[in-house]
Structure formats: structure tokens, C-alpha cells
A and B are shown apart, each in its own frame.
Chain A
Amino acid sequence: MTILSISKLTKRYGRSPVLEGVDLALSPGERVALLGHNGAGKSTLMKLVLGLTRASAGRIEVAGHAPGSAVARALTAYLPENVAFHPSLSAREQIAHYLRLRGKNPRDAAPLLERVGLGDAMDRRIGTYSKGMRQRVGLAQALIGRPRLMVLDEPTSGLDPVSRREFYALLEELAASGSAILLSSHALSEVETKTDRIVILSRGRKVAEGTLDALRTEAALPLTVHLRPREGQGPALAAAFPEAQRRADLLTLTCPPAEKMALMARLSRANGALADFDLLPPSLDDIYAQISGRAA
């Protein structure tokens, strides 16, 4: 069962393609992160899913319905990037209106706003809110009525680190209750443990898709290894690891992921000369740069 299925999606503005032949499917309860450089086509993909613009070619179905159709709109929640509201309304008035539009009780506005941490400010005009507070109003409206599909465009932009964590906890709850979530982000490190699958767009093409582990394997970047010799054992250790570079009292070397076990064996053989070691996996930003850069 898929709630969102996209196949061979292409979108052109004039002649230049913004998306080309993108395939994607989301099942209920799945969290998928969409990554890509500025102008990669993330927001465009989302607008197509919502039926806000029309595809040049390809198919999109939301639970079997056309994007933007009445059924699809009823099932989908959206958080646009740079979400905006009329400045002279209070958050409570705005959310109460959105609740009525979705056929829900407008009194639920207060608990909903408390849930996103706007309990104290909800009766103030949105025009007086900070960027992060506006973003929270946007989140609150996206939470209305347990949507089957949530499309969130850079949902954590403007949120402080604590709020981000709370936000991802909220997403986990929603996913556990069966909502499918498609969100975009700029940092692999941010979505690392919080999503089930990662899709990377580069210049309108899908260049990678999978779990973080799969992407890590695909990038095949070497690990960095730091070795600390025992007192007076520096030369002995350097002899055991001739490829290592000396930095201060540390030895540093790199190791392809496939040779990790072999390295472990060498480390245990050098036990006498070794005080401590660190194995640093390639950083997420390195992996991301490697994958999206390779496609370009």
C-alpha cells in the first residue's frame, strides 16, 4: 500500500527542466527526507505533490487520487517553506479557521498550539511573532486532523535546537500512528536518525535513495583513524603503521570501509605499543557532498 506514488515526474519552466524523471513512493508510517542543493527542485516536487503546479510529464497519485483533487487535499497537510499568515490575526484565530476548513472543532486550536509551544502567545497577533514562532504556527496547522500524508518543506528552518528535537519527536509519534511524512532539509546530519529513508536530488534528478547506512556504503568514503602510542612507544607504533601521518603525539591514517576488519586485526597485534585509538566514520556532510557532487 502506498499513500504517495510518483513516477517519471518531469517539470519544466519554459525550456529548462527543474525536475527530470523522478520516481518516489511513500508508504503509511514512513518518514522520507528530501535533500538537495538550493534550486535542486525540492520545493517544486512538493508543490507538484500538492497540485499547486502541474507536471510537464509523469504521474503523481495521492492514495490513488490526482494531486490537488478534493480527496487528495483532505488527506494531505502542507507546511510551505517560509510559511506566512495574515499579520493581523492571532494564532488561535488562524488555527481555529484552519480547523473549521478541515471540518474539525475550532476549540482544538488551543491544545494544538500548546503542543507546538505557543501556549502563551496564541492570542497575540501573528505579526508580532518571531520567525520560529511563525514556523510553529505552520507546524500546528500541519498537525490538524492526523493527515495521512504530510508534506513539510524545510520544517525545522528557524527552529532552535531544542525545538528541533521536539519537532522530530512529534514526527515520530505521527509516523507511528500511520502518517507518511515527506520532508525536505539541507543537512544530512539533521535528519540522520529521524527519518527512515533519504532521497537526494541534484539538478532535478534523483541521485540517491536509501537508508543512511545504504548511502554510507554507496559513498564508500574512508574512515579516519587516530592512534595514540603508549609512553615511549611512538617509533614502534609508527613502524607498525608506516602509512600513518604523525601529528603532534597522534598518528592519523585513513581506511577504506572494506578494510575495517583487517585494520582491527592490525590494531590488536600492535596492542603493546597502542594506548588508545579512535575510529571516525566519514562525516555525514562528507557523504552528502560526495553523493550530490558526484552527480553534478
Chain B
Amino acid sequence: MISRILSTARIEFLIALRNRWVTIAIAMMMLFSLVLSVAGSAPSGALGADRLSVTVASLTSLSVYLVPLLALLISFDAVAGEVERGTLPLHLTYPLGRGGLLAGKLAAQLLVVALAVTLGYAVAAVVAVQASGAAALAGLPALFRLIWTSVLLGAVFLSLGHAMSSLSRRPSGAAGMAIALWLVFIVLYDLGLLAAVVADDGGAFTTRVFPWLLVANPADAFRIFNLAASDAVGAASGLAGAADAIAIWKPLASLLLWPLAAALLARAAFGRVQP
């Protein structure tokens, strides 16, 4: 079973490589990291945080938008594209089940995301070390944390992309659903919470429900976890107070559970696709 999933992952990675998704993803992450780390050099000394932690703070805010977008871009075609090309019926007659097929695709696409964020953030690290020497190395743990949480966040949105792909069965429809999903999770959700908090004006909603709603969204959980886990990063972001109010295990649990839940959702949606 494992070897079949690996073979699927391998062929899917090859396809991603040929379709230039790997290049695009890596170039995109490297470019944005470079711009951020060069542009974000000014305020570092004032906050008493090392240079790399400052960069991680701004990378966190960037990745919240970019990683889900990248993951959805890579994954929306996974099932719908096969339906359209007509390759799905044949694949489903092979001794690899639907779960295995999806797992293989997820593994390959996760590798693309992991490569992109690792190489992208590495650029930022190099710039930080270049600028302020060994002192910046204090921020390395925060950088590692950013990498593996970005991969988890990517996994969530890859699987959500697979679910959209299965539900719409047409690439164009899947692309539309993916964009809508991104808007809801990344933009509208936070706006909605903000509006609710403002309307509530410090009432029960703000103190009891809001923290849970915040970590329930994987993107917010990603942001909070990265800002709260390192004092330096929290200080650099200026959001330490807000992040500290939430126990660190909550966003972590959210980040660990979401990939699983999203994968199960994708599997269920794929199960309903009749080739």
C-alpha cells in the first residue's frame, strides 16, 4: 500500500515539476520573503528583538495569506482535472483505492509546499544573518517553527482544495470554489470576528467565544501560534498582548487537527465522485 502511494506521489510530483508548479511556488515564496526581509529592516533595533525574529514576524503575516493561496492553487485541479482529462476511471480500477490516490497526491503537493516555504524562508534567514551577523541566529527556532507550521497550514488547504475539486468535478468550478474558500477563511472570517467584537464591545462574546473562534480557523491558529511561541517574534509584531491571552496549546491543537479533518473531508467528497 505504502509503495503504491509513494509511486503516486512520485508521478504527481513529476507532473507538478513539468507543469512548472514547483518553480512557480518556490519563486513566489522566495521573492516575497526577499522583499519582506529587505524592506522590513528598519524597526528592528527599536523593539529589542533580533533581526531574524523580526523577519519571522513579518513572514508570519505574509504566509497567512500566501501559503493557503499557494496550496489551493496547487490542489484545486487534483480531482476535477482527472475527471476532465478522463484519466480517473482507469486510475480507480488499479489496486490503489481512492484514499491511496488522494494520499499520493497530497504527499506530492505537500512536498512542493514544503520546498517552497523552506527555500523561501531560507532566503529571509540569509538576508537577516548577512545584515546583523550571528545575533540573528537567536531567531532560528522561530524560523523552524514557521516552516513546519506553514507545512501544516499548507496541508489543510491542500486537502480543502481536494474537497473543492471533488465537489465541483470541473476545473473551472473548482478554481472558483477555491478562491471563495480562500476569501472566507483568510479575509471574511477575520472581518466577521472583528465586526462581532466591535459590536459586542467587551462583552461575553469577546471574552468567552472569540478566543475559541479565533483558534478554530487554521490560518488564525497559525498566526497566533507563531507570534505567541516566541517572545521576540511577538514583540516584533507588536501583537504580543493579544496572542498571550490564548493558551499556546489551543492554536497548536487546531494546527494539528485541521490537516486530519480536512483530509477526511476531502476523502469523503472524493468518495462521492462517480467516474
Contacts and interface: CB of A to CB of B under 8 A. Distances in A.
B87 A52 contact: no
B3 to A, nearest CB: 7
Interface stretch (A18-26, A93-101, A183-191, A272-280): A93-101
Interface size class of A (residues with CB under 8 A): 20 to 34
B18 interface: yes
B4 A100 contact: yes
A76 B89 CA distance: 13
Contact of A101 (B7, B15, B89, B274): B7
Interface string B7-31: 1101100110011000000000000
Interface residues of B, number: 23
Given A52-B92, A73-B95, A85 B87 contact: yes
B208 interface: no
Contacts of A93: 11, 14
B15 A52 contact: no
Nearest to B4: A101
B95 A101 contact: yes
Contacts of A51: 93
A88 B19 contact: yes
Contact of B86 (A52, A84, A89, A103): A84
A141 B86 CA distance: 16
A97 B11 CA distance: 7
Interface in B162-186: none
Contacts of B92: 52
A52 B95 contact: no
Contact of A47 (B18, B89, B95): B89
Interface of A: 47, 50-53, 70, 73-74, 76-78, 80, 82-86, 88-89, 93-94, 97-98, 100-103, 138, 141
Interface of B: 3-4, 7-8, 10-11, 14-15, 18-19, 85-87, 89-90, 92-97, 274-275
28 contacts: A47-B89, A47-B275, A50-B89, A52-B89, A52-B275, A70-B95, A73-B93, A73-B94, A76-B93, A78-B89, A80-B90, A83-B86, A83-B90, A84-B87, A85-B87, A86-B15, A86-B87, A88-B18, A93-B11, A97-B8, A97-B11, A98-B94, A100-B3, A100-B4, A100-B7, A101-B7, A102-B94, A138-B90
